[in-house]
Structure 1
């Protein structure tokens, strides 16, 4: 997160620095961008940068926060409109995301973000929502205020999970959606696999349906031991 020094800057200077980061990360993936790239575009000394942000990762995730907040608002609104149907809300949200990604001026930036996002990157994003108790390793722990609001709005009568199990399920769904966006961008780069947003929405809904209802035929499953 930015320092108090950055937040105390005039608004136009803050905008210029963030715009420089946005341009740098649009031109190249995260691993190829350097602080030198950012400060040249922002026209600030290197020392000033470190007064505002700890490192490259700090400004990168601050930049992502805008898009992340938009996603959180959209999913929350869709969950309300779907009267607590979590899977319907995820499906609609994904459809809206693909429409946005196909038209936004930040398409290259978001493509670079999702294309390079590996497991560690997803965990870094998710841990800003989930607060992990030390003894639980990477398993989701206490929920953030937003995650708790999603839980509170969800209709549990539609789910075969307990209140305690919900945290893990939501963690998996968020990761699944992020990875699906990454695969969509990968398909767009391959002329032999290029898919329209509509076709990829159908593929996402199919996988989401498997997640929701399972893939085994009725009575073909194995009972879980209590």
Structure 2
């Protein structure tokens, strides 16, 4: 987390630094992102940066957490609209992200996220997304889920389901963004959701399909 000194800054000065950081992380891969470029763009001394953040990783983590909060709010909206159906809400999330990415008037924040994704592909992106706080915590979201629609057998099942679905959905969204036409990616993602929804093991009472 940033220091108290950072949060005590005027809002305009905080946003100027965060905007510079978002632009730099969007410009090059995480490993190549330069604190010097951030502070030059934000017009602050190098010493001040380290009064706000320990290092580049803490700053990236904070920004990712802010994106995670927005994603959580969107998921709450979609779960409420879908009356607690977690599978339908995640498919809606995929569609919303693809639509926003392809909108001519997409926001600067959306462009930055997409550039960060593109700059950090493969194992590096997985490592970044694995940082604590980068993905929305399921704690708030579970309140919007209708448990009657799920086969819950322990207190931890719903949290585990969220983590599985966030992983599957995140990868599908990235593939959709990288594709010229996301329809094939959506079809494959929907089939994956269907498999997860029905379960992968055959029930003893069910006939085996040839």
Fold similarity call, TM over 0.5: yes
1:59 maps to 59
Normalised to the residue count of structure 2, the TM-score between the two structures is 0.81
**Secondary structure of the equivalent of 2:131?**
helix
- Give, in angstroms, the shift of residue 122 of structure 1: 2.6
CA distance in 2, matches of 1:33, 1:108: 17
Q: How many residues align?
A: 198
**Could you tell me whether the CA contact under 8 Å between 1:20 and 1:38 is conserved in 2?**
yes
Residues 148-181 of structure 1, C-alpha deviation per residue, up to 9 Å, x if partnerless?
3322332222222324322211111112222222
Query: Which of 158, 170, 173 is the equivalent residue of 1:178?
Result: 170
Q: Which runs of 5+ in 1 are unaligned?
A: 130-143, 189-193, 222-226
- Give, in angstroms, the shift of residue 219 of structure 1: 3.4
Tell me whether 1:166 sits opposite 2:184 in the alignment. Answer: no
CA distance in 2, matches of 1:38, 1:209: 44
**Could you tell me whether the CA contact under 8 Å between 2:21 and 2:38 is conserved in 1?**
yes
**Could you tell me whether the CA contact under 8 Å between 1:122 and 1:175 is conserved in 2?**
no
**Could you tell me whether the CA contact under 8 Å between 1:78 and 1:89 is conserved in 2?**
yes
Normalised to the residue count of structure 1, the TM-score between the two structures is 0.76
2:125 maps to 118
1:204 maps to 189
More relative contact order, 1 or 2 (CA 8 Å, 6+ apart): 2
More displaced, 171-180 or 212-221? 212-221
